[in-house]
Amino acid sequence: MTVKADNNKNDNNKTQKDKKKKSFLHLLFINLFGGKKKMTVMEEEMLQNEGVEEEIESPGQIIWSSFKSDKVAMTALIIFIIIVIVSVIGPLVNPIDLSFSEVSQQHIPPGRNLMKYPSALEGKVQDISTGPKYSVAASTDGKLYIWGKTKITDTIDLRRVPKDMGNIVKLAAGYDHILALNDEGQLFAWGNGRQRQTDIPDEVIGLTNISDIVAGYQNSIVLTEDGHMYYFGNYMNNDIDLFHPYQGQLQKVVVTSDAVLGLTFDGEVVYLGSQNTAYSRIPEDMGNIVDLAATAATVAAVNEEGQVFVWGNISAKKGEGNIPETDSKIVSLQGGRYHYTAMTEDGQIVSWGDNTYKQSTVPDSVASADIESYYTGFYQNYAVTSQGDILTWGLKGYLLGSDELGRDIFNRLLNGARLSLFIGAISVVISTIIGIIVGGISGYFGGRVDIVLQRIAEMVASLPFLPLAMILSALIGHSMSPRQRIFLIMFILGILSWTGLQRLVRAQILSIREQEYVLAARALGVKEWKIIFRHILPNVFSAIIVSTTLSFASSILTEASLSYLGFGVQAPYPTWGNMLYGANNSVVIQNYWWRWVFASIILSVSVVSINTIGDGLRDAVDPKTQER
């Protein structure tokens, strides 16, 4: 019994100690991380009884503790840190090509649905054709499906298809119009017909032996089974000879952006224009050609031995001439905007050429599948397996849309963030250095030095900031490269925005310079500049940080204003300001909202976050707002 009582007593003591320990840890956590939460006298006595004394906090710790308790300021800090991290890492992951432009991708609305085909199409693909920002397909049961961005203008939408077309068996997607052929040989055309590319000629309307249809940029081509070609649309953009000698001999016709070529029944490639161009210089001794394809700037042919020939305006950057090696011979090929896709005799798919949107990178799912047919156009690829599954690769769309040059706005926002924040940071560093030096010397020495420096500061402060910055940028900037102009903007922002900080530093030093530790330093013979920069300035550092933070937001906004007005950073370098400058007209504002909305949002969020951080720091630094 005695042993059992002793055990119970020990257990009770242990339980009380555990409770006391938990209570102690809880109170200690509140004391260290509880912000402005007050402790009762009993809680303080309990901590002291446990041997924990309340630590004396440094000024920095007091400021940080107060700042942490401001939920709005902390939220703003987290948001701004995320923006900075994204602006640093984003351009490394998604770099920008300053020379890039693509007219076929102009003003595409936000979305990632360019290859999001209808699920009802699976298992019954008859034909697929792809335009610059849309795709159209016919199913084996004759139905028509269209997906992607189909709106051409306010009044033209490719989804508005003609009525009573019957069972569609073949399609051709052009730049902004579509041709469709039904099982009775009837031809239909809709979309943008400004150059009469949708006006089917009378001699074509009565044809019943159409074998192929082609839609290009402002042109349409019809090919009959007996090898005759009919062309309608824009005759000025394309080198086409309507009286070429190959009528009745053509089994296939392809178009580049400005030329037309054909493949005869005899396996010969022929040029159907009248001018001597890079397309007309067809390679010799190609043998018997079995298939012909074209991109916007090149033509490719494959002979019966599987050998591929590419000619035209071949660009090393695009890589259309870099034909890959294959295990088996190539038997067919198709062309996109700047890339080719081909199929080998064992059913493998290969791609080469431009890979800006991964349209030339065949995914593993396609490489390992049993492909029955494939379709390539512009920047999209579709492959249909023997089971009827549709596999895609290439351009899915633009998360935040594209601009007037076909550039990805999301990519430009990422890279523009880095430049906008960098310009603001460097200009603030310049103005802070000048402001600290001028304010420190003026406040410490006083007298004539103070008078002279303050009159200079007043002269600089009296200058109209934005007009002067615009004048300097206009006078000096035109003789500079875009990169040099960036440094000019940094210098202008820094050299004209230091006056406010120097007044703050001067006022702080005037109140500190007569204190005991400064007098003691003088008595010990410490040099004047050491007293200013080693003893006085550290005591006004918190106020400098607050002012600098607010100036940072102001510099970002000023750079954006200059760029918006056309006097800041110039293209092709992106900043949030010059992205807004590019949207500075009523047509863009009304029709292409994504070009200015996203840049405005990120600029506003950044500036508001920085200002909120500055307000939080100012409240934390002010002793009157501190509570125990």
Task: Concatenate the DSSP letters of all residues of 402-445 into one string.
Answer: B-TTS-BHHHHHHHHHHHHHHHHHHHHHHHHHHHHHHHHHHHHH
Query: CB under 8 Å, gap of 24 or more: what pairs does 431-435 form?
Result: 431/493, 431/494, 431/495, 431/497, 431/498, 431/501, 431/551, 431/555, 432/498, 432/501, 432/544, 432/548, 432/551, 434/494, 434/495, 434/498, 434/502, 435/498, 435/499, 435/500, 435/501, 435/502, 435/504, 435/505
Decide: 255 and 262 in contact? Cβ < 8 Å: no
DSSP state of 8: H
Residue 519 lies in a domain: yes
For the chain, what is the mean pLDDT?
Answer: 86
From 451, 428, 553, 440, select the one nearest 502 (Cα to Cα): 440
Structure pTM? 0.81
Degrees, nearest 5: CA angle 247-253-254: 145
Residue 523 lies in a domain: yes
Largest separation between any pair of C-alpha atoms in the chain: 122
Question: Which pLDDT belongs to residue 496?
Answer: 84
Please write the tens of the pLDDT for every residue from 108-157: 999 999 999 999 999 999 999 999 999 999 999 989 999 999 999 888 99
Q: Which domain holds residue 483?
A: 416-592
Residue 134 lies in a domain: no
From 219, 216, 221, 223, select the one nearest 233 (Cα to Cα): 219
* Mean local confidence (pLDDT), 384-393: 94
Helix (H), strand (E), coil (C) string for 347-410: CCEEEEECCCCCCCCCCHHHHCCCEEEEEEECCEEEEEECCCCEEEEECCCECCCECCCCCEHH
Question: Which pLDDT belongs to residue 585?
Answer: 82
Decide: 218 and 191 in contact? Cβ < 8 Å: no
In whole angstroms, what is the distance from residue 607 CA to residue 423 CA? Answer: 14
Question: Which pLDDT belongs to residue 146?
Answer: 96
Q: Is the dihedral of CA 614, 615, 616, 619 positive or negative?
A: positive
> Does residue 373 surpass a pLDDT of 90?
yes
Query: How many domains in the chain?
Result: 1
From 486, 467, 625, 606, select the one nearest 549 (Cα to Cα): 606
> Does residue 28 surpass a pLDDT of 80?
no
> Does residue 34 surpass a pLDDT of 70?
no
* Mean local confidence (pLDDT), 532-536: 75
> Does residue 589 surpass a pLDDT of 90?
no
From 283, 280, 319, select the one nearest 302 (Cα to Cα): 283
As a whole number of Å, the CA-based R_g of the chain is: 36
Residue 433 lies in a domain: yes
Question: Which pLDDT belongs to residue 24?
Answer: 45
Residue 249 backbone dihedrals phi, psi, to 5 degrees: -120, -5
Query: Regarding predicted confidence, which is higher, 484 or 187?
Result: 187
Give exposure, 77-97, as e/b (b: 16+ Cβ within 10 Å).
bebbeebeebbeebbeeeebe
Please write the tens of the pLDDT for every residue from 492-517: 888 888 888 899 888 888 888 777 77
Residue 106 lies in a domain: no
Please write the tens of the pLDDT for every residue from 77-94: 999 999 999 999 999 998
Q: Quickly list H helices, 463-585.
A: 465-477, 482-495, 499-512, 516-523, 528-530, 541-564, 576-581
Question: Which pLDDT belongs to residue 345?
Answer: 93
Residue 516 lies in a domain: yes
Question: Which pLDDT belongs to residue 3?
Answer: 46
Decide: 493 and 561 in contact? Cβ < 8 Å: no
Sheet (strand 177-182) strand order: 168-173, 177-182, 187-191
Evaluate the omega torsion of the peptide bond into residue 162 and state whether it is cis, within 30 degrees of 0: no
Burial class from Cβ neighbours inside 10 Å (0-12, 13-18, 19+) for residue 5 reads exposed
In whole angstroms, what is the distance from residue 206 CA to residue 221 CA? Answer: 15
Question: Which pLDDT belongs to residue 390?
Answer: 95
* Mean local confidence (pLDDT), 328-337: 95
Please write the tens of the pLDDT for every residue from 56-75: 556 667 777 877 888 898 99
Q: Quickly list H helices, 95-254.
A: 202-205
Decide: 207 and 185 in contact? Cβ < 8 Å: yes
pLDDT confidence band for 478 (50 / 70 / 90): low
Residue 535 lies in a domain: yes
Please report, for the domain that includes residue 528, its CATH number.
Answer: 1.10.3720.10
4-13, 109-118, 251-260: which has the minimum mean pLDDT? Answer: 4-13
Question: Which pLDDT belongs to residue 18?
Answer: 54
Residue 420 backbone dihedrals phi, psi, to 5 degrees: -65, -45
Cite the beta strand spans of 24-95 per DSSP E.
Answer: none
Please write the tens of the pLDDT for every residue from 273-293: 999 999 999 999 999 999 999
pLDDT confidence band for 49 (50 / 70 / 90): low
Residue 572 lies in a domain: yes
